[in-house]
């Protein structure tokens, strides 16, 4: 028996998984808060508690994500793009393009079987191109993040934002509300705006079937719908899109840790 | 009313709405349509072998998506837009394309266009940057070769007579454009800047003789002067990089201003210089296209090879014609505008502003992203400028 | 126990590089000293060996504001000059080197002398601004714009930029050479008027010959880099390119230094010594490097990345034989034109119509058997950026070579994101591994 | 913020009101106008001319004229500091630099695409830190070792700031870093106008002594701040209104007036 851990410290939430022989046996999500070190530690404790193991039983741990450098107990740090590709591939082996929508950025990754990255693009460092834009708008409309997607689907008349800035977009949303525009139209508008940004990324690297979405954005049916419509495609959605990168990290840990374990034996 | 019968400004609006319509019709009739980018391809030669020239423009209303895969985003958005339309198949109806070394990114885009779209006819004219005698000769040699390729592509001869004929026709069109521009000299002008721009875009979308007819109708309608713009305090000259969409001018004219004259390349820059009929018509063409066209993409100086330099004299020789425009059209303010990332126009701005200050014309410089949606912020700037000139 | 020792640099630098690098540093001093004794100085720019021999033969000191832009950036003097250019109304997206130079000239005009804070002694006041109409709009627009601050005349020399297919049309070559020869002839006449002295044609012939010899040798050195492992890293190339590109100082001295370098590189090839200890990946680098963050190449070298070829625009032309050409102007014209068009045959065959700037990278990638490329678009230099998306696309689709785009700038040094580049670099490794397999499947030989 | 200034022919201010700007420009305009009239103890009909300016200028139903905030700010600044050459205005929506010569606006630059570099940046972050806008300035002046804020995006900077706090970095050093971030951005833009004294700093952000300090550093020179920087634009608008009226009177013309009626006037109704 060997266990492996993947820790993804994201800008908004931190995700951790434990795998055993390639199978997910435990996962946990925590808000990242301010101190990544503390969050990572807590994440590990929770995970270990779930499987009732002492830390020493984890053969290999890989950390990734925005705060991946602040995970003191990891054996290795790996770029999130690679982990994401590995993770999605373990869920959907036929996926060749994954759209990863996180809190800080959106990225489009092309991969081959086995989850090896063959190309990628990352959005600019502007909140208007990331999942954060949705959070900002959800927040001012006082709608729970998990509800914005379903609500936006009800819209018949999505608004068009006149600004490309998330912060000014927030005020725009407020004035629209006061003009009597419905919340679903505003939400549909913001989903559309983000889908447009994502589609310009996609145009830059070209694409291949099958498609999937990962990251917190994958929890949002409204965004999925907008992207599908904008691009005329069908997106596969993994059961836990937010965990994909952490899962990928654990899978890489298996490969890596497995090698080490073997070499120890031969030595 | 059938389409052909529709007159003057109505017809202009119609062409402006659907630029390619006429070209596609012509194509259906068996005529070959030749696309060209910018002002440097020699239209007289195209017309002389019975090709219909069609200017490749961008589209401010269409988001750029496909072009980002082969041009970076930190270059001129106009050219990105034009290429984007090409990559999206919007110029597929063209039988061939002629491009030239305008600016650096224009040159690169020509090669990219050819690499990706591989039209059945393509020619790249390497327009020199200086106006020296040797440079004129170099352009002439290229035009001779260009002629050969046109002949072999069309299977028709480009005879001297036909070329002279074409030169005369184009000069006639140019004279009519001047006549139209003259109608903007009264106060208020008889035709708005935005409408004039529509006319210019229309002319670049149809064959030259049809353009001549169209201009005649437009001129007579405008002279009747029923629907001209109201009198406004500001009479503006707009200088700068390409404007092929009326949005910017419309925005300015919705404020307290009339745009009465321009120095841009879908306007006076394209039509004011004539071709002199020389014994070898190529000489006149070379002179017009290299020396006559006043685009800042060409290096010119007050006195060729002078060993001492005088700044004001230099400015005078480069921008003196703008002073003349300002006088003739009774201008009281100048808007310098350019798409972002246009180096050609960008380097010119401080010098031109020095010159305008020197001759006492208020001026402002606006940079934009070649996108209709992104024009809104310019409104406040333009309005403030008008308040400044009062 | 290791921590106290200085960590060994991962890139094994060439010893013969150092004296070549020094040549450029001395250039400014020579300019300043020349102006002290009343010797004329010209401001010029990379003109691909077209005008430099002429200026040298007329005994004019040359300084290069483009290079000086990099110097100012490195010494931290650039921001003040950029600010000055901005405040004088030049758009901020313009070339960083140009803005630096404009700001410098403005300041020099205010003070009436070389600004005291100017690094390396500053650039002396010129009697001539020699602009180049080739490759980049900034380079002729900017010198003209300097008219605001300097009363020196501007001359623009040209190099034709034909299209790939057009260049092979009947008479095109002769016409282009003829054009260049005439332009250079007029330039010589102009200089004679400006300086009131005659051209020494023998001297010109000799200098031209030396510069061509330097270029040949430099070309040969770069040919040696095809070896596995590659004996010379891009960092050494950049350190040495300037002595060829701006034929600084005495050409004979440069020639000697390049000879030494040839020897050292050849020894390495024979002994299979690579520029990085374990060459896992061979890479090409496109355009100007992030000058202030060159240490990133050491970090990448630790991962086994060797940069084996780079920056087409700064490489010498492919050799042609011009030894029989008696008119030095014609010889110059042919050599310089060759630099532009040297890859056109291959480009035409490959149906790649951006025959310089883009296609050469495809040639390099094949000849130097690259696994990947690092492309560095520059926010303010469109010339070094225009073609990079095309290069990326063609490398991948034609040669199955993946590349990484990492944005930066030549003068605004903060733009380059080191950490982000390293994160992406890690991902590129995976792509390089993948495409090795793809190339094999497609029958490409590496 | 929404501001009203009522001014007499002698340019003496008889009412000044500052209210928040929310989503509903129209209602707010009515409300602050009502308060201002009350403060000045005037009936609406007594107001000769109403000028609206700012982002919401088209949403003031009772304004006789709309004039851009650039012109109004310039006029306001000139009335307060006749020798001004450069005015820097940082408000909640944008930042501008105005170049003024002989009391006239001759050139300007502005940034309005990205919230970073505007007062909104500080609003967002102050809210995240649970601080009042008024406190920021004083806090930052205590800093001895300001931190560098690396995020250029307002939203991400907010997060960065919270992180820094949890790392135990003193609040004042963080706030000073924020002030430097906004000041350096704005200074970079304004430098395009070629900075010459007197430099005047107005707009709501000029109330923040920390930004004033940082701007001084970034510009490298003295900066003058009006007593009530928030009101500069409104003062300028009022002066322009007065000038228009006097000019019209002198020419014997009348200015087109909108109906002097306030919508939704709530507690009292003095006008009409
Ligand atoms: N329950 C949810 N429903 C819809 N969207 C969500 C939900 N949770 C998170 N998101 C979206 O996912 C984004 C965060 O994605 P995530 O991959 O967790 O980013 P990070 O790793 O940067 O924290 C948020 O900005 C939000 O748009
Ligand atoms: N008392 C205060 N102390 C510090 N800053 C303030 C204060 N009041 C307002 N501000 C700043 O001023 C900005 C608003 O400025 P203002 O000139 O009213 O802009 P606008 O007219 O665009 O609303 C706010 O974003 C805030 O940053
Ligand atoms: S535009 Fe808005 S969302 Fe984008 S970087 Fe600026 S502040 Fe952030
Ligand atoms: S606008 Fe400027 S950059 Fe764009 S094509 Fe024209 S000259 Fe070139
Ligand atoms: S090539 Fe780039 S760096 Fe050189 S002058 Fe042109 S724009 Fe500037």
The string of pLDDT tens digits covering residues C13-56 is 999 999 998 887 787 778 778 878 888 999 999 999 999 999 99
Residue A260 has pLDDT above 70, yes or no: no
Q: Do D67 and B387 touch (CB under 8 A)?
A: yes
A11, A132, A174 member nearest D23 (Cβ): A174
Range with top average pLDDT, A68-77, A217-226, C286-295: A217-226
pLDDT tens digits, one per residue of A165-188: 999 999 899 888 988 999 999 999
Chain B CB within 8 Å of residue D114 CB: no
Quick: pLDDT tens for A184-242. Answer: 999 999 999 999 999 888 887 877 889 999 999 999 999 999 999 999 999 999 999 99
pLDDT of residue D23: 62
Q: Which of residues 40-59 of D touch A (CB under 8 A)?
A: none
CB atoms D113 and B377 under 8 Å = yes
A267 pLDDT band, cuts 50/70/90, is very low
The answer as to whether D150 is a domain residue is yes
How many domains in chain A? 2
Looking only at the bridges linking them, the beta strands covering A23-31 and A13-20 are antiparallel
At B230, is the secondary structure helix, strand, or coil? coil
Shortest Cα distance, chain A CAs vs residue D7, angstroms: 30
Does ligand 2 lie within 6 Å of residue D112's CB atom?
A: no
User: How many beta-carbon contacts under 8 Å exist across B and D?
Assistant: 27
- A147 and A20 within one domain: no
Which listed ligand is nearest to B107 at the C-alpha?
A: 4
Total of domains in chain D? 2
Q: Do residues A38 and A162 both lie within one domain?
A: no
3-class secondary structure, A223: helix
Torsion over CA: C86, C90, C93, C95 (sign) = negative
Q: Give B37's strand partners.
A: B56
Q: Is D83 helix (H, G, I), strand (E, B) or coil?
A: coil
Residues 102-131 of D with CB under 8 A from C: none
Which CATH number covers residue A218? Answer: 3.30.420.40
Nearest atom in ligand 4 to the alpha carbon of residue B297 is 7
Residue A248 lies in a domain: yes
How near does any CA of chain D get to the CA of C81, in Å? 12
Task: Kindly list the distances between the CA atom of residue C429 and the CA atoms of A110, C282, C371, C404, C423, in Å, as whole numbers in the listed order.
Answer: 14, 11, 9, 10, 10
Please tell me if the CB atom of residue D114 comes closer than 6 angstroms to any atom of ligand 3.
yes
CA C292 to chain centre: 17
Same domain, D214 and D93: yes
Residue D225 lies in a domain: no
What DSSP designation does B354 have? H
Which are the contacts of C197, defined by CB distance < 8 A and separation ≥ 6?
C58
- Largest separation between any pair of C-alpha atoms in chain D: 69
pLDDT in tens, A127-141: 999 999 999 999 999
- pLDDT in the model for residue C7: 58
Residue at A124 is within a domain: yes
Residue D193 forms contact with B (CB below 8 Å): no
What three-state secondary structure class fits D1?
A: coil
Ligand 1 midpoint to CA C96 (Å): 39
Residues A110 and A143 in one domain: yes
| A169 within some domain | yes
Whether residue A88 is contained in a domain is answered as: no
Query: Is D192 in Cβ contact with C89 (below 8 Å)?
Result: yes
A68 and A143 share one domain: no
Instruction: Say if ligand 3 is within 6 A of residue D154 CB.
Output: yes
Same domain, A257 and A125: no
Dihedrals phi, psi of C307, to nearest 5 degrees: -95, 115
Alpha carbon distance D92, C159 (integer Å)? 52
Whether A13 lines ligand 1, by a CB cut-off of 6 Å, is yes
Q: Which residues contact B25 (CB under 8 A, 6 or more apart)?
A: none
Residues 94-113 on D with a CB inside 8 Å of A are 113
Cβ-proximal residues to B94 (8 Å cutoff; 6+ apart), any chain: B23, B33, B34, B35, B54, B56, B119
Calculate the alpha carbon distances from C237 to B317, C240, C258, C310 in Å.
44, 5, 12, 8
The CATH fold assigned to B18-130 is Rossmann fold (3.40.50)
Residues of B in contact with D67 (CB under 8 A): 387
- Cβ–Cβ under 8 Å, residues A133 and A226: no
* Interface membership of D25 toward A (CB under 8 Å): yes
Q: Give the chain C residue nearest A119 (alpha carbons).
A: C431
Asked if the structure places residue D246 within a domain, the reply is yes
How close C243 comes to chain B (CA, Å)?
27
Pair A54, A163 in one domain: no
Q: Mutual orientation of helices A166-178 and A131-141 as an angle, nearest 10°?
A: 30
Q: What's the pLDDT score for residue B1?
A: 40
Q: In testing the pocket of ligand 1, which one of A145, A193, A195 has its CB within 8 Å of the most ligand atoms?
A: A145
The boundaries of the domain holding residue D145 are: 82-219
Do D6 and D111 sit in the same domain of this protein? no
| Residue C386 CA to ligand 4 centre (angstroms) | 13
* DSSP alpha helix (H) spans, C376-417: 388-399
In a domain, D65, yes or no: yes
Q: Quickly count: other Cβ atoms within 10 Å of residue B390's Cβ.
A: 12
Contact across the interface for C83 and D191, Cβ inside 8 Å = yes
Q: In the predicted model, what is the mean pLDDT of chain C?
A: 92
Domain membership of residue A59 (yes or no) is yes
Contacts of B5 (CB under 8 A, 6+ apart): none
Q: What is the CATH number of the domain that holds D12?
A: 3.30.420.40
Q: Distance between CA atoms of C108 and C114, rounded to whole angstroms?
A: 6
**Do residues D244 and D192 both lie within one domain?**
no
C122-180 pLDDT, tens per residue?
A: 999 999 999 999 899 999 999 999 999 999 999 999 999 999 999 999 999 999 999 99
Ligand 4 centroid to residue B338 C-alpha, Å:
9
Cα–Cα dist A259/A240, whole Å = 28
Q: Is the Cβ pair B388, D112 closer than 8 Å?
A: no
Cα separation, C241 vs B167, in Å, equals 50
- What pLDDT sits at residue D269? 38
Counting Cα atoms < 13 Å in the Cβ hemisphere of D131 gives 21
Residues D212 and D116 both lie in one domain:
yes
- pLDDT tens string B190-238: 999 999 999 999 999 999 999 999 999 999 999 987 789 999 999 999 9
Torsion from C-alpha of B312, B314, B320, B326, nearest 10 degrees: -50
Query: What residues of D are in contact with residue A106 (Cβ under 8 Å)?
Result: none
Percent of residues, chain C, with pLDDT higher than 70:
98
Neighbouring subunits of C (3+ Cβ pairs under 8 A) = A, B, D
Q: Is A26 helix (H, G, I), strand (E, B) or coil?
A: strand
Please classify residue A255 by burial: count the beta carbons closer than 10 Å to its beta carbon, then call 0-12 exposed, 13-18 middle and 19+ buried: middle
Q: Is the CB of D159 under 6 A from ligand 3?
A: no
In A, residues 97-156, which contact D (CB 8 Å cutoff)?
104, 125-127, 132, 136
Does residue A185 fall inside a structural domain?
Answer: yes
Residue C115's Cβ-side half-sphere holds a number of Cα atoms within 13 Å equal to 17
pLDDT score of C8: 67
Regarding whether A108 and A68 lie in a shared domain, the answer is no
For ligand 1, is residue A131 a contact (CB within 6 Å)?
A: yes
**Partner C contacted by D156 (CB < 8 A):** no
- pLDDT (average), residues C265-282: 96
Do residue A27 and residue A125 come from a single domain? no
In a domain, D76, yes or no: no
Q: How many whole angstroms separate alpha carbon C32 and alpha carbon C36?
A: 6
Domain range for A73 is 1-83+240-267
Query: According to the model, what pLDDT value does residue B65 have?
Result: 84
pTM above 0.90, yes or no: no
- The Cα D64–Cα D84 span in angstroms is 29
Residue numbers of chain D with a pLDDT score lower than 50: 265-272
Residues from chain B contacting residue C147 (CB–CB below 8 Å) = 309, 311, 314, 351
Q: Would residue D224 count as lying in a domain? A: no
Residues D195 and D138 in one domain: yes
pLDDT at B303: 66
pLDDT bucket at A259, cuts 50 / 70 / 90: low
CA distance C41 to C30: 10
Handedness of CA B206, B209, B215, B221 (dihedral sign): negative
Q: Do B377 and D112 touch (CB under 8 A)?
A: yes
Looking at the fold, whether A206 and A109 belong to one and the same domain comes out as yes
Same domain, residue pair A57 and A139: no
A116, A124, A207, A248: best to mutate for the C interface, most C CBs within 10 A: A116
Complex ipTM value: 0.83
Q: Tell me how far apart the alpha carbons of residues B379 and B367 are, in angstroms, rounded to a whole number.
A: 12
Of the pLDDT bands very low, low, confident and very high (cuts 50, 70, 90), residue C409 is confident
Q: What angle do CA C74, C78, C83 make, to 5 degrees?
A: 160
Whether residue A203 and residue B376 make contact (CB cut-off 8 A), yes or no, is no
CB burial of C227-238 (b: ≥16 within 10 Å; e: otherwise) equals bebbbbbbbbbb
pLDDT digits (tens, 9 = 90+) for C322-359: 999 999 999 999 999 999 999 999 999 999 999 999 99
Same domain for A100 and A169, yes or no, is yes
Is A263's pLDDT higher than 60? no
For residues D155 and A136, is the Cβ–Cβ distance under 8 A? yes
Residues in B touching C152 (Cβ below 8 Å): 309
Radius of gyration of chain D (CA): 20
CA of B340 to the centre of ligand 4 (A): 9
Question: Is A14 inside a domain boundary?
Answer: yes
Q: B347–C90: do the CB atoms touch at under 8 Å?
A: yes
Q: Rounded to an integer, what distance in angstroms lies between the CA atom of residue D157 and that of residue B297?
A: 42
Interval between CA B235 and ligand 2 midpoint (Å): 37
Is residue D250 within 8 angstroms of chain A, CB to CB? Answer: no
Nearest atom in ligand 4 to the alpha carbon of residue B77 is: 4
Is residue C183 within 8 Å of residue B135, measured between CB atoms? yes
Report the residue among D119, D127, D137, D202 best suited for mutation to probe ligand 2: largest number of ligand atoms under 8 A from its CB. Answer: D119
Residues A153 and A71 occupy one common structural domain = no
- CA angle (C260, C266, C270) in 5-degree steps: 145
User: What percentage of residues in chain C have a pLDDT greater than 90?
Assistant: 79
Measured in angstroms, the CA of C40 and the nearest CA of chain B are apart by 14
Instruction: Please identify every stretch of chain B with a pLDDT value under 70, giving residue numbers as ranges.
Output: 1-6, 302-305
pLDDT of residue D19: 82
If one counts every other C-beta atom within 10 angstroms of the C-beta of residue D250, the result is 8
CB neighbours of D221 closer than 8 A, spacing ≥ 6? D195, D197, D199
DSSP, residue by residue, C46-108: --TTSSHHHHHHTT-EEE-HHHHHHHHHHHT-HHHHHHHHHHTT--TTS-HHHHHHHHHHHHH
Q: Are B116 and B109 in contact (CB under 8 A)?
A: no
DSSP string, C317-351: PPP---TT--SHHHHHHHHHHHHHHTTHHHHHHHT
| Cα B66 to averaged position of ligand 2 atoms, centre (Å) | 42
């Amino acid at each position: 028996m060997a266990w492996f851990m993947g820790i993804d410290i994201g800008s908004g939430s931190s995700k951790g998984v434990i795998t055993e022989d390639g199978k997910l046996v435990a996962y946990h999500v925590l808000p990242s808060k301010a101190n990544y070190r503390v969050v990572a530690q807590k994440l590990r404790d929770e995970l270990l508690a779930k499987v009732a193991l002492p830390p020493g039983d984890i053969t290999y741990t890989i950390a990734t994500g925005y705060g991946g450098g602040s995970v003191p107990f990891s054996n290795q740090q790996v770029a999130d793009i690679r982990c994401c590709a590995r993770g999605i591939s373990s869920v959907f082996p036929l996926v060749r393009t994954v759209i990863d929508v996180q809190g800080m950025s959106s990225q489009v990754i092309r991969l081959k079987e086995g989850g090896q990255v063959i190309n990628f693009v990352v959005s600019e460092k502007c909140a208007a191109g990331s999942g954060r834009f949705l959070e900002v708008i959800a927040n001012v409309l006082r709608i729970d993040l998990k509800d914005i997607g379903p609500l936006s689907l009800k819209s018949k008349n999505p608004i068009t934002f006149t600004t490309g800035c998330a912060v000014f977009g927030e005020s725009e949303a407020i004035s629209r509300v006061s003009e009597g525009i419905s919340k679903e139209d505003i939400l549909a508008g913001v989903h559309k705006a983000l889908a447009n940004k994502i589609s310009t990324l996609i145009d830059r690297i070209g694409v291949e079937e099958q498609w999937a979405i990962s990251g917190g954005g994958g929890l949002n049916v409204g965004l999925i719908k907008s992207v599908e419509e904008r691009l005329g495609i069908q997106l596969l959605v993994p059961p836990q899109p937010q965990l994909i990168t952490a899962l990928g990290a654990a899978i890489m840990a298996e490969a890596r840790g497995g090698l080490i374990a073997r070499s120890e034996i031969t030595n | 009313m059938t389409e052909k019968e529709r007159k003057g400004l109505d017809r202009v609006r119609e062409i402006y709405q659907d630029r390619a319509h006429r070209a596609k019709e012509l194509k259906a009739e068996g005529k070959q349509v030749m696309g060209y980018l910018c002002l440097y391809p020699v239209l007289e030669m195209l017309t002389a072998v019975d090709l219909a020239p069609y200017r490749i423009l961008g589209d401010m209303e269409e988001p750029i998506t496909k072009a980002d895969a082969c041009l970076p985003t930190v270059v001129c958005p106009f050219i990105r837009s034009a290429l984007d339309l090409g990559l999206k198949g919007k110029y597929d109806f063209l039988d061939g394309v002629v491009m030239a070394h305008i600016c650096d990114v224009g040159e690169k885009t020509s090669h990219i266009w050819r690499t990706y779209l591989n039209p059945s006819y393509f020619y790249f004219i390497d327009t020199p940057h200086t106006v020296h005698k040797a440079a004129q000769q170099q352009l002439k040699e290229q035009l001779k070769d260009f002629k050969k390729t046109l002949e072999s592509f069309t299977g028709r001869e480009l005879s001297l007579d036909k070329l002279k004929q074409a030169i005369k026709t184009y000069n006639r069109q140019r004279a009519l454009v001047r006549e139209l521009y003259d109608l903007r000299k009264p106060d208020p002008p008889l035709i708005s800047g935005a409408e004039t721009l529509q006319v210019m875009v229309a002319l670049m979308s149809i064959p030259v003789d049809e353009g001549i007819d169209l201009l005649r109708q437009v001129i007579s309608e405008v002279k009747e002067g029923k629907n001209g713009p109201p009198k406004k305090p500001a009479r503006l000259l707009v200088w700068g990089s390409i404007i092929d969409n009326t949005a910017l001018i419309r925005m300015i004219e919705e404020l307290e201003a009339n745009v009465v004259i321009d120095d841009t390349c879908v306007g006076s820059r394209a039509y004011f210089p004539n071709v002199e009929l020389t014994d070898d018509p190529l000489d006149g063409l070379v002179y017009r296209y290299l020396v006559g066209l006043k685009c800042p993409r060409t290096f010119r100086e007050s006195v060729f090879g002078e060993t001492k330099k005088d700044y004001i004299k230099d400015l005078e020789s480069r921008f003196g014609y703008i002073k003349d425009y300002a006088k003739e059209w009774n201008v009281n303010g100048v808007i310098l505008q350019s798409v972002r990332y246009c180096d050609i126009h960008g380097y010119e701005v401080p010098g031109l502003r020095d010159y305008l200050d020197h001759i006492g014309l208020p001026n402002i410089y606006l940079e934009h992203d070649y996108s209709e949606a992104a024009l809104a912020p310019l409104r406040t700037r333009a309005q403030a400028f008008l308040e400044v000139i009062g | 126990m290791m921590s106290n020792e200085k960590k060994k640099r991962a890139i094994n630098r060439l010893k013969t590089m150092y004296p070549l690098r020094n040549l450029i540093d001395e250039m400014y001093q020579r300019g300043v000293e020349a102006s002290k004794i009343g010797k004329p100085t010209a401001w010029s720019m990379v003109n691909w060996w077209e005008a430099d021999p002429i200026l040298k033969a007329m005994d004019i000191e040359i300084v290069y504001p483009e290079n000086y832009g990099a110097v100012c950036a490195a010494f931290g003097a650039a921001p003040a000059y950029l600010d000055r250019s901005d405040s004088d109304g030049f758009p901020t997206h313009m070339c960083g080197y140009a803005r630096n130079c404009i700001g410098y000239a403005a300041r020099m005009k205010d003070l009436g002398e070389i600004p005291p804070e100017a690094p390396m002694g500053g650039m002396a006041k010129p009697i001539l601004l020699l602009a180049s109409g080739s490759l980049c709009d900034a380079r002729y627009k900017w010198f003209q714009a300097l008219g605001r601050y300097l009363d020196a005349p501007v001359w623009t020399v040209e190099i034709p930029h034909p299209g790939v297919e057009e260049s092979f049309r009947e008479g095109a070559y002769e016409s282009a050479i003829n054009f260049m020869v005439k332009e250079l002839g007029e330039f010589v006449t102009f200089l004679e008027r400006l300086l009131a002295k005659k051209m020494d044609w023998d001297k010109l012939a000799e200098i031209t010959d030396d510069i061509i010899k330097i270029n040949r040798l430099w070309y040969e050195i770069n040919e040696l880099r095809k070896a596995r492992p590659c004996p010379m890293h891009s960092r050494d190339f950049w350190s040495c390119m300037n002595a060829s590109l701006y034929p600084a100082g005495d050409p004979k001295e440069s020639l000697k230094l390049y000879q030494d370098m040839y020897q050292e590189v050849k020894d390495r090839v024979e002994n299979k010594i690579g520029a990085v200890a374990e060459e896992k990946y061979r890479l090409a680098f496109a355009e100007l490097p992030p000058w202030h963050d060159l240490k990133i190449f050491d970090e990448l070298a630790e991962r086994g990345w060797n940069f084996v070829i780079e920056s087409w625009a700064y490489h010498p032309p492919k050799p042609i034989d011009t030894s029989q050409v008696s008119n030095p102007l014609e010889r110059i014209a042919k050599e310089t034109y060759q630099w532009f068009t040297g890859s056109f045959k291959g480009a035409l065959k490959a149906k790649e119509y951006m025959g310089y700037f883009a296609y050469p990278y495809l040639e390099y990638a094949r000849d130097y058997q690259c696994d990947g490329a690092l492309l560095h678009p520059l926010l303010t230099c469109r010339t070094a950026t225009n073609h990079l998306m095309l290069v990326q696309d063609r490398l991948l689709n034609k040669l199955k070579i993946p590349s990484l785009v990492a944005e930066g700038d030549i003068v605004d040094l903060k733009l380059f994101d080191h950490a982000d580049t390293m994160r992406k670099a890690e991902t590129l490794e995976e792509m390089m591994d993948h495409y090795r397999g793809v190339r094999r499947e497609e029958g490409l030989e590496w | 913020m929404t501001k009203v200034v009522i001014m007499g022919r002698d340019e003496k201010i008889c009412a000044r009101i500052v209210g928040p700007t929310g989503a509903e420009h129209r209602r707010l305009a009515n409300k602050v106008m009502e308060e201002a009239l009350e403060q000045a103890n005037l009936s609406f009909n007594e107001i000769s001319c109403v000028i609206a300016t700012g982002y919401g200028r088209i949403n003031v139903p009772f304004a006789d004229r709309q004039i851009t905030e650039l012109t109004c700010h310039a006029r306001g600044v000139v009335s307060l500091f006749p020798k001004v050459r450069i005015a820097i205005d940082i408000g909640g929506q944008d930042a501008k630099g105005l170049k003024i010569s002989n009391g006239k606006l001759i050139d300007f630059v502005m940034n309005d695409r990205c919230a970073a570099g505007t007062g909104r940046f500080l609003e967002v972050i102050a809210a995240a830190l649970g601080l009042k806008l008024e406190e920021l300035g004083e806090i930052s002046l205590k800093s001895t070792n300001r931190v560098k804020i690396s995020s250029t995006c307002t939203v991400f900077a907010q997060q960065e700031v919270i992180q820094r706090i949890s790392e135990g970095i003193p609040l004042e050093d963080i706030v000073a870093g924020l002030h430097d971030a906004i000041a350096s951005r704005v200074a970079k833009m304004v430098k395009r106008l070629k900075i010459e004294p007197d430099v005047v700093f107005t707009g709501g952000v000029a109330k923040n002594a920390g930004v004033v300090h940082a701007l001084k550093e970034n510009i490298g020179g003295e900066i003058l701040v009006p007593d009530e920087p928030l009101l500069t634009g409104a003062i300028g608008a009022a002066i322009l209104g007065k000038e228009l009226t006097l000019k019209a009177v002198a020419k014997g013309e009348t200015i087109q007036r909108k109906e002097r009626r306030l919508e939704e006037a709530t507690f009292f109704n003095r006008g009409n």
